[in-house]
């Protein structure tokens, strides 16, 4: 019998505590530095997650590096790295502020969200990081690098559940499922939550399961304060969380209680907790060394860890099992992931798993990996929860100028071999109104594709006014209207790019005055242009927000060929008296590039380049009609509400610098500075006809904004400057998103 089996056995217990439980890493680090053996480990909540990594054979240096990494922060915040999110299946930006999803049969109960953070990236990484260790141990937690127990809570039976076997990632994730924060998991027919609900410091479990000679504990949690009459949260917390016994369960036990000053969800500063854990442990090291008589040299521990990891099997996936979908849907998903290959690598599985998750008909997907010992390849089980069939959205833009608009949308999802979504939305306001309806077909092929067909009506009613919310305004001088049907096919280019091509039939009809001197009895000029549009576009985006982004890049190039017929009828203010019918065709090329190339915690800096060229742009019946059909430079949201003659051209380029400073995590100061260079000027002849000529003019557009990024949407006050505009300065206060449905050239 070896000396290892005869020596004193030391068990370690780790409490829950969220971000503060990163102190366990410092605690374990101090123990290893002083050659204290760790023979058993038990944890609850975040303590179970740290303990699982140690039991899986990860070194303290590896665990510390992970907890301090950007990757771990992404996991804790419920987001995805840019490389994994699938742009093809992301929704187009819209004016929604609140979206509610539900099933028609249970509107109230199914529309209330059960969690705040999306844990899919955490779940995938846990399957990847814990899969080989679970397989090496034969899915028996006693055969891990260090025997391990994780504690979860069964809220139906009101009791703790001890994980002794199975997939290690499932045990760690379930034990850390903080109520209303992470998606709860169903395990063996039981809906399980955070182990800390019923036992946040499972020293008793460690003692009963392993009977160690010494117990060393790290506790960063405490029982809740008694409920208060006027404090709803204190009442809820006391209802769902039992009081934990933090007393020592045996004489040979030492508990370390680090104080880091962090909150439960302060994962950005976990380095403080790690330092606090190590420091607090070292302060009690003499007592620990006196109680723990045996030592394990670092070299021996490193050798044992390497021997355990040598038994890991490379993750090659030969089979996909699907839970939560119909047989037809499951077969389509299996085929889409394996794609008739004998087996796929982990990298291939990752790419296809997250493309599946990007489908808006999928609410949640959870992977587990299990090794087949016969051929040493893995079977991946994907647990899928379908998204609720109905979705409604509300939003809009509320402004100090007459730009207010409401927004409503509705979607209905039909999941099958190929997924279908029906959608409609409406913007309604004095300046902008729109209706869009159509369907989107997600083709689950080897290379996924999206086909969309839709009808859109847009109307912009421009105001020559700086009126506030309740003031009357002068009659509009330009009203742009368009309605079109669109058919478009989209193909992925990598994960963050897409290529789109399609066609539209558009009817454009504009009412306008050719002078600012008009009265209510004057009649407008009217120009109609019915055209076919054939388009191609490549787009790549990693921007972090649908508006006012300060991270990532955006690149787009597009080409549109138009061929149609103009019909113009002069109004009472027009110098041109003849009705015109003319055939026109031209091609529009556009390119745009935004790159936030520098960003620290409180500061980011980016640039914006844009160019557009209408090749062979025709002259319409009059100057104003030509100007309406020309290309507009609109670099900031408010500029879309102005019709500025000098900011329209058939050929222009621009360059801009964007800088942001974070005053607070949600409060930001933003500066947009753009230089506009038209290469061709459109001017009016004495007869109100249009003409083109080269120009060397430069224009400056700037905006300084204070933006509060609220959970619902941006709250913004801005000062904006438009070079050589009649009234160059404007002040705008608004809440919400100033976003439109796509136009006929978008």
Domains in the chain: boundaries: 10-78+141-310, 316-386, 390-736
The pLDDT tens digits for 311-344 are 898 999 999 999 888 888 888 888 888 888 889 9
Tokens of residue 236, six digits: 């809820």
Question: What residue spans of 311-362 are helical by DSSP H?
Answer: 327-338, 346-357
Instruction: Name 420's bridge partners.
Output: 414, 441
Instruction: Provide the pLDDT for residue 687.
Output: 80
Cα–Cα distance measured from residue 54 to residue 155, given in angstroms and rounded to the nearest whole number: 28
Q: What pLDDT sits at residue 324?
A: 86
Share the mean pLDDT of the chain.
Answer: 89
Q: What is the pLDDT of residue 467?
A: 47
- CA 650 – CA 648 distance, rounded (Å): 7
Residue 250 CA to residue 233 CA, distance in Å, equals 35
Give burial (CB, 10 Å; 0-12/13-18/19+) of 569: middle
What is the chain's Cα-based Rg?
Answer: 31
Among candidates 62, 63, 43, which has minimal Cα distance to 215?
Answer: 43
- CA dist., res. 35 & res. 29, Å (int): 10
The pair of three-digit structure tokens given for residue 406, joined into one six-digit string: 């409401």
- Helices 60-67 and 23-33: angle between axes, nearest 10 degrees: 160
Angle at 70 between CA 67 and CA 73, to 5 degrees: 65
Residues 6+ apart with CB under 8 A from 641: 401, 403, 431, 462, 463, 738
Give the C-alpha separation, 36 to 9, whole Å.
10
Q: Report strand pairing: 96-102 vs 148-154.
A: unpaired
CATH topology of domain 390-736: Porin (2.40.160)
Residues 449 and 446: their CA atoms lie apart, in Å, by 9
pLDDT at 468: 41
CATH annotation of 316-386: 3.10.20.310
The CA angle 494-498-501, to the nearest 5 degrees, is 145
- Three-state DSSP class for 731? strand
Q: The tokens of 617 are what?
A: 């742009």
What is the 8-class DSSP label of residue 374?
T
User: Are the C-beta atoms of 221 and 242 separated by less than 8 Å?
Assistant: no
Tokens representing 284 are 């009690």
Q: What is the DSSP letter of 195?
A: G
Residue 324, CA distances (Å) to 122, 299, 416 in order = 20, 47, 13
Percentage with pLDDT > 90 across the chain? 64
The C-alpha atoms of residue 246 and residue 223 are separated, in whole angstroms, by: 9
pLDDT at 233: 56
Phi/psi of residue 508, each to 5°?
Answer: -110, 130
Q: Residues 255, 24: contact at Cβ < 8 Å?
A: no
Q: Which token pair is 318?
A: 């030969």
- Asked if 30 contacts 282 with a C-beta cutoff of 8 angstroms, the reply is yes
Rounded distance, CA 516 to CA 168, Å?
73
Q: How many whole angstroms separate alpha carbon 81 and alpha carbon 125? A: 12
At residue 464 the predicted structure's pLDDT band, cuts being 50, 70 and 90, is: very low
| Contact indicator for 442, 359 with CB cutoff of 8 Å | yes
The mean pLDDT of 185-189, rounded to a whole number, is 87
Band the pLDDT of 470: cuts 50, 70, 90: very low
Of 238 and 19, the structure prediction assigns the larger pLDDT to 19
E strand spans, 229-297: 253-256
- Looking at residue 671, what is its pLDDT? 97
Instruction: Encode pLDDT of 117-165 as tens digits.
Output: 888 999 999 999 999 999 999 999 999 999 999 999 998 888 999 999 9
Phi-psi label, residue 687: left if phi above 0, alpha if psi -120 to 50, beta otherwise:
alpha
Beta strand extents in 360-399 (DSSP E only): 362-372, 377-386, 390-399
**pLDDT of res. 638:** 92
* Least confidently predicted of 234-243, 572-581, 646-655: 234-243
Strands 405-414 and 390-399: antiparallel
**Predicted pLDDT of residue 218:** 94
Q: How many residues does the chain have?
A: 746
Q: Say how many C-beta atoms besides its own lie within 10 A of residue 431's C-beta.
A: 22
Interacting residues of 322 by C-beta distance below 8 A, sequence separation 6+: 329, 330, 333, 334, 381, 382, 384
pLDDT of residue 15: 93
Residues 117, 119, 125: CA angle, nearest 5 degrees = 150
How crowded is residue 265: how many other Cβ atoms within 10 Å of its Cβ?
Answer: 15
Query: Is the model's pLDDT at 181 over the cut of 90?
Result: no
State residue 388's pLDDT score.
83
- Summarised one tens digit per residue, pLDDT across range 595-607 is 999 988 889 999 9
Nearest to 737 by CA among 456, 542, 549, 543: 549
CB 280 within 8 A of CB 254: no
Q: What is the DSSP letter of 156?
A: T
Give me the DSSP letters along 506-550: EEEEEEE-SSS---TTPPPEEEEEEEEEEEEEEEEE--SSSSS--
Q: Bigger pLDDT: 100 or 223?
A: 100
- Reported as a single tens digit per residue, the pLDDT across 377-434 is 999 999 988 888 899 999 999 998 888 999 999 999 888 778 899 999 999 998 999 9
Please name the residue that has the structure tokens 């930006």. 93
Burial classification of residue 86, based on how many CB atoms lie within 10 Å of its CB (0-12 exposed, 13-18 middle, 19 or more buried): buried
Helix (H, G, I), strand (E, B) or coil at 249: coil
């Amino acid at each position: 019998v070896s000396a290892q089996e005869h020596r004193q056995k030391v068990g370690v217990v780790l409490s829950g505590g969220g971000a503060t439980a990163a102190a366990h890493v410092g605690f374990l680090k101090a123990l290893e530095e002083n050659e204290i053996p760790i023979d058993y480990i038990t944890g609850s909540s975040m303590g179970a997650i740290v303990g699982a990594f140690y039991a899986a054979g990860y070194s303290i240096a590896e665990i510390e590096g992970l907890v301090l990494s950007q990757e771990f922060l992404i996991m804790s915040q419920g987001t995805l790295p840019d490389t994994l999110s699938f742009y093809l299946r992301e929704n187009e930006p819209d004016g929604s502020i609140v979206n509610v999803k539900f099933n028609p049969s249970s509107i109230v109960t199914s529309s209330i969200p059960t969690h705040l953070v999306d844990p899919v990236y955490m779940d995938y990484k846990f399957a990847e990081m814990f899969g080989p260790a679970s397989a090496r141990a034969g899915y028996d937690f006693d055969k891990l690098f260090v025997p391990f127990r994780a504690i979860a809570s069964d809220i139906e039976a009101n009791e703790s559940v001890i994980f002794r076997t199975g997939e290690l990632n499932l045990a760690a994730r379930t034990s850390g499922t903080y109520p209303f924060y992470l998606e709860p998991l169903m395990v063996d027919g039981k809906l399980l939550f955070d182990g800390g609900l019923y036992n946040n410091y499972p020293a008793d479990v460690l003692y009963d399961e392993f009977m160690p000679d010494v117990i060393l504990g790290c506790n960063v949690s405490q029982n809740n304060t008694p409920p208060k009459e006027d404090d709803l949260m204190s009442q809820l917390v006391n209802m769902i969380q039992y009081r934990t016994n933090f007393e020592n369960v045996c004489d040979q036990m030492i508990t370390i209680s680090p104080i880091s000053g962090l909150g439960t969800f302060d994962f950005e500063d976990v380095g403080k907790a790690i330092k606090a854990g190590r420091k607090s442990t070292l302060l009690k090291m003499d007592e620990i060394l006196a109680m723990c008589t045996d030592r394990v040299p670092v070299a021996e521990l490193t050798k044992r860890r390497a021997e355990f990891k040598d038994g890991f099997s490379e993750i090659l996936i030969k089979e996909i099992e699907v839970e939560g979908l119909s047989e037809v849907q499951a077969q389509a998903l299996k085929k889409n992931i394996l794609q008739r290959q004998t087996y796929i690598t982990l990298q291939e599985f990752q790419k296809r798993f997250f493309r599946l998750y990007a489908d808006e008909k999928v609410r949640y997907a959870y992977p587990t990996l299990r090794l087949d010992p016969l051929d040493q390849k893995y079977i991946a089980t994907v647990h899928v929860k379908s998204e609720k069939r109905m979705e409604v959205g509300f939003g809009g833009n509320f402004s100090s100028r007459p730009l207010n608009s409401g927004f409503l949308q509705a979607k209905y999802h039909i999941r099958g071999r190929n997924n279908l979504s029906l959608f409609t939305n409406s913007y309604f306001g004095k300046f902008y109104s729109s209706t869009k309806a159509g369907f989107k077909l997600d083709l689950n092929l080897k290379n996924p594709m999206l086909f969309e067909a839709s009808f859109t009506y847009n109307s912009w009613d421009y105001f020559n006014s700086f009126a506030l919310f309740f003031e009357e305004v002068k009659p509009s001088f330009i009203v742009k209207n368009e309605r079109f049907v669109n058919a478009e096919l989209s193909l992925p280019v990598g994960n963050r790019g897409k290529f789109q091509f399609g066609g539209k039939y558009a009817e454009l009809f504009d009412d306008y005055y050719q002078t600012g001197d008009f009265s209510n009895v004057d009649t407008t000029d009217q120009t109609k242009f019915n055209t076919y549009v054939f388009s191609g576009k490549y787009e790549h985006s990693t921007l972090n927000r649908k508006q006012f982004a300060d991270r990532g890049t955006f690149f787009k190039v597009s080409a549109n060929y138009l061929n149609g017929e103009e019909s113009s009828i002069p109004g009472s203010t027009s110098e041109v008296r003849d009705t015109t019918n003319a055939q026109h065709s031209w091609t529009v090329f556009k390119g745009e590039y935004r790159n936030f190339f520098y960003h620290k915690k409180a500061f980011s800096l980016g640039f914006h380049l844009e160019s557009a060229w209408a090749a062979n742009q025709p002259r319409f019946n009059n100057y104003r009609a030509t100007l309406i059909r020309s290309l507009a430079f609109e670099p900031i949201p408010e500029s879309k509400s102005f019709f500025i003659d000098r900011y329209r051209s058939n050929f222009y380029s621009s360059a801009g610098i964007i800088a942001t400073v974070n005053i607070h995590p949600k409060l930001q100061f933003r500066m947009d500075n753009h230089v506009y260079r038209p290469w061709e000027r459109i001017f009016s002849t004495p007869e109100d006809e249009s003409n083109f000529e080269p120009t060397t003019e430069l224009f400056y557009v700037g905006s300084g904004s204070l933006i509060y990024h609220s959970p619902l949407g941006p709250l913004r006050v801005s000062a904006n400057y438009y070079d050589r505009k009649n009234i160059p300065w404007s002040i705008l206060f608004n809440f919400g998103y100033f976003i439109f449905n796509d136009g006929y050239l978008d």
